[in-house]
Amino acid sequence: MTGTLAHAQEGEVIPGAKVVQLEPTQMQDSDPRLALEGKLPPRVLIHPAGAMKQEDKDLAASAATAIKHRAGFLELGFDEGDWKESQLDCPAFPQHLLLRFTRDNGAGDQSTFTASIPRGKDGQVRVIPILRRGYSLYSLAPVSKATISAFNEIESEEHIGDKADWSSIGLCYAALSAPRWIELEGNTALTLLGSTMLRLGEKGGVTVGFGLGAPAPGQWQVTFNKNGQVQGTEFTSIGDVIARPMPATLTEMRGKPLPASIPVGPGRPIPSGPEPRGRPIPPTSSGDSQSKPQ
């Protein structure tokens, strides 16, 4: 046996042994839900209105009336003040023109919303409210059921299905709902900070978690159900937050002042003077006391 193994190690054929050539194996995805993960660029490009393509400008102009009507219904003040417009170029949603509108009246008084415009006949103009004069209309936009519902409708119009690049879709969700937004000059990009966390659910769902820097700093977690629709979200803002400052007030002290004889230090001084007088305490009677005379 020892001699046979030695010959085999030198490349000789073992008498009576049958050698089978193995086919090279191919790497396969551990789960079919991840077949398209990482296929799209992990970013959302942001273009100011002046840098948009002419075809996108024309499409935005054709939807201006519908956007104004929906923003007016939400009382966002779209017909008041100076609004900035920018384009959100999401690789996961090529069949939609996505826009972000922002009005800044100073600290604590920002209004912003996003809008989706279908490029074809399949779909309709939608508006996602984010802030109205510094406040959320219903609940914080990233976790609002209204935001999730609108996003799922946009996703349905894209016909993505239950297999997709989940990181790219989650990034698009963040761009459409981020309450914290830093306006930057010129073309920029919303990119991931570090790696993406993916978790596969037991019921066919997928959860993607990621962090973002400027212009929308925050930590995100988006959970999709087995049909590829957003089921729930979590959001944590990082960095400076937008807040409405409280007006400065002068607090008026009220109440009865302490007498001057009571010192500020700990404890009350022992009183001095004559012994206090009071009613004498009557003697107590025992159970063996004599009865009253008849």
In-domain check, residue 277: no
- The span from the CA of 70 to the CA of 115, in Å, is 10
Identify whether the C-beta of residue 265 lies closer than 8 Å to the C-beta of residue 201: no
Report if residue 264 sits inside a domain: no
Provide the domain limits for residue 216: 32-237
Look at residues 231, 210, 204 and name the one whose alpha carbon lies nearest to residue 33. 204
Task: Tell me the pLDDT tens digit for each residue of 1-50.
Answer: 444 444 444 445 545 545 445 455 444 457 888 889 989 998 999 999 99
- Phi, psi dihedral angles at 284 (to 5 degrees): -85, 150
Three-state secondary-structure class, residue 192: strand
Which pLDDT does position 264 carry in this prediction? 46
Cα distances from 276 to residues 31, 77, 285, in angstroms, run 91, 76, 26
Using CB atoms within 10 Å of the CB of residue 86, give its burial: 0 to 12 exposed, 13 to 18 middle, 19+ buried. buried
Overall number of domains in the chain: 1
Phi, psi of 25 (to 5 degrees): -85, 150
> Is 243 part of any domain?
no
Task: Tell me which residues of the chain have a pLDDT lower than 70.
Answer: 1-29, 239-294
pLDDT attached to residue 18: 52
Token pair recorded at residue 233: 């979200």
- The answer to whether residue 138 sits within a structural domain is yes
Burial class (CB in 10 A: 0-12, 13-18, 19+), 171: buried
Q: Is residue 263 part of a domain?
A: no
Q: Is residue 293 part of a domain?
A: no
Across all residues in the chain, what is the average pLDDT?
79
Nearest alpha carbon to residue 48 among 265, 215, 282, 260: 215
Q: Would you tell me the crossing angle of helices 54-62 and 64-73 to the nearest 10 degrees?
A: 50
In the block, tokens 């109440």 appear at 255
Chain CA centroid to CA 191, Å: 15
DSSP class per residue in 84-135: EEEEEE-TT-TTEEEEEEEEE-STT-EEEEEEEEESSSSS--EEEEEEBTTB
pLDDT at 137: 78
Please say whether the dihedral angle defined by the alpha carbons of residues 198, 200, 204 and 207, taken in this order, is positive or negative: negative
Return the pLDDT at 270.
Answer: 52
289 assigned to some structural domain: no
Does any domain span residue 275? no
